[in-house]
Amino acid sequence: MIQYQINFYDSLDSTNSEVKRLCDQGMAEGAVVVAAAQTSGRGRLGRSWVSPLGNLYFSILLKPKVTLDVLSQLSLVAGIALAQTIKYYQGNSDGITLKWPNDVLLKCQKAAGILVETEIESSSTDGIPCYLGIGVNFNSAPDLTVYPATCLNEFLNIVPEVEDFLQQYLIIFSSLYEIWQKRGFSVLKSEWLEFAHGLGQTVTAIAGREGLVTGVFETITDQGGLVIKDQIGKKNVISSSEVTFPH
Ligand code: BTN
């Protein structure tokens, strides 16, 4: 199990940046940085993450002992833990989905985001330093976003305290993280698929190597890649991309 050490701040530039600073100072895996607000919150693909008071922003320092080729699975594992945490509070998984690779949607609107940053060049027998950053909209969602956004208090009948939600997330994540490192992503694949957004529907992926791929979202692979069956029946495995799903 991860030995967590939690540090709370009123405001930070970015919890991911702070966890990186802690890593540079030699902190062990399990350091957690939580901020009530961020002034330079970062999102995926170079976007910013608007971070006013009232939502949850945190990052965990991880040093997984895995090979580089499976590192991208960490964000899928983090997404499963987030979906399961919301399910825990709702009592069922209705309306909770994961948009591949790891956006958490509530009734098709984004409610949380996950950003994994890594220090591949610093990897050692101690593991690969990774900064797992998570933003959960509790009380407000930004208006002008690429995708429609929502927050937990528009979705859950009883909204938990932010600290309580964080504790629950950390417990769930720790056990999934251990399973992933010991047994690999293939044993967690069905847990991800339980929440898969748009499964069986037509999706378009703008993938690096493959270009534009449109077809039916069939499943994910044991490695976490997105399987899209195109019009001529060819199965394309997408490992990283921006994917457009129907709403
Ligand atoms: C996304 O683009 O969906 C990922 C958003 C990740 C935001 C979180 S908030 C806590 C942590 N600190 C950051 O600067 N970013 C992540």
Give one DSSP letter per residue of 186-235, joined into a string. Answer: GGTHHHHHTTBTTTTSEEEEEETTTEEEEEEEEEE-TT-PEEEEETTSPE
Q: Can you tell me the distance from the alpha carbon of 72 to that of 68, in angstroms, rounded to the nearest whole number? A: 8
Q: Please state the atom number of ligand 1 nearest to the C-alpha of residue 44.
A: 2
Mean pLDDT for the chain overall = 92
Q: Please state the atom number of ligand 1 nearest to the C-alpha of residue 15.
A: 12
Residue whose Cα lies nearest atom 16 of ligand 1: it is 133
Sign, CA torsion 228/172/34/93: positive
Q: Which pTM was predicted?
A: 0.94
pLDDT band (50, 70, 90) for residue 162: very high
Assess whether the C-beta atom of 142 lies below 6 angstroms from ligand 1.
no
More confident residue, 243 or 222: 222
The pLDDT of residue 246 is above 60: no
pLDDT at residue 209, as a whole number: 66
Q: Can you tell me the distance from the alpha carbon of 188 to that of 176, in angstroms, rounded to the nearest whole number? A: 8
Residue (of 137, 138, 157) closest to 147 by Cα position? 137
Q: Is 38 helix (H, G, I), strand (E, B) or coil?
A: strand
Distance 162 CA to ligand 1 centre (A): 16
To 10 degrees, what angle do helices 73-90 and 162-183 make? 140
Element (H, E) at 90: helix 73-90
The pLDDT of residue 245 is above 80: no
Assess whether the C-beta atom of 87 lies below 6 angstroms from ligand 1.
no
Element (H, E) at 246: none
Q: Mutate which of 49, 130, 140, 150 to test ligand 1's pocket (most atoms within 8 Å of Cβ)?
A: 49
Residue whose Cα lies nearest atom 7 of ligand 1: it is 135
The pLDDT of residue 58 is above 80: yes
Q: Mutate which of 13, 61, 115, 150 to test ligand 1's pocket (most atoms within 8 Å of Cβ)?
A: 115
Percent of the chain exceeding pLDDT 70 equals 94
Kindly state the tokens that stand for 71: 């590192």
**Average pLDDT of 111-131?**
87
Please check whether residue 239 is in contact with residue 228, taking contact to mean a CB–CB distance below 8 angstroms: no
The pLDDT of residue 182 is above 50: yes
Residue whose Cα lies nearest atom 15 of ligand 1: it is 42
**Average pLDDT of 182-196?**
97
**Average pLDDT of 212-228?**
94
Distance 40 CA to ligand 1 centre (A): 10
pLDDT band (50, 70, 90) for residue 144: low
Please check whether residue 166 is in contact with residue 138, taking contact to mean a CB–CB distance below 8 angstroms: no
Kindly tell me the burial class for residue 230, based on how many C-beta atoms sit within 10 Å of its own C-beta (0-12, 13-18, 19 or more).
middle
Kindly state the tokens that stand for 19: 């966890």
Distance 134 CA to ligand 1 centre (A): 5
Q: Please state the atom number of ligand 1 nearest to the C-alpha of residue 102.
A: 3
